[in-house]
Amino acid sequence: MSEQPDYSRLAGGAALGARLRRLSERIDRESAQLYAAFGIEFEQRWFGILNQIIRNGPMTVGDIASALRLTHVSISQARRSLEAKGFVHSLTDGKDARRRPIALSRNGGPRARGLHDRSQHCCRRLARAGTLACKASAG
């Protein structure tokens, strides 16, 4: 059985978006492996959301998306996984029922803050790897 051709690579610049998505998925996958090696259950995509809520208190999906310059869909998907893991929960806005701010759960707050302390070593390694990847792609 022959190996499938790498269509994204063959298409060159025309497939830039597909190649960037592939790179993003690889970064997410390898970051998760690194966190797991340190005994930390964490998805890279959670960082920005948790950081925004820790810094600013409860925020809507739209507010977080705007602050992080990401899509509403991306933040909604990450929110669902954070809710499933017990880090966050949705609140009801008393003035506008359409608004559903996201807040750290009772257990999620200490867990999120504890992740910061436990992940410092991981973050330094990820930063070094990112710097190396940027240098490699520029050369």
Q: What is the pLDDT of residues 121-130, one digit of tens each?
A: 666 777 777 7
Strand partners, 69: none
Sorted by where each starts, the structural domains of the chain and their CATH numbers stand as: 42-138 (1.10.10.10)
Q: What is the pLDDT of residues 23-61, one digit of tens each?
A: 888 888 888 888 888 777 888 889 899 999 999 999 999
Distances (CA, A) of 29 to 1, 22, 25, 60, 117: 27, 10, 6, 27, 22
Strand partners, 89: 103
Cβ-based neighbour number of residue 62 at 10 Å: 12
Q: What are phi and psi of 134, to 5 degrees?
A: -65, -40
Amino acid at 88: V
Amino acid at 101: P
Distances (CA, A) of 124 to 24, 43, 74, 120: 19, 16, 25, 6
Q: What is the pLDDT of residues 9-29, one digit of tens each?
A: 666 666 788 888 888 888 888
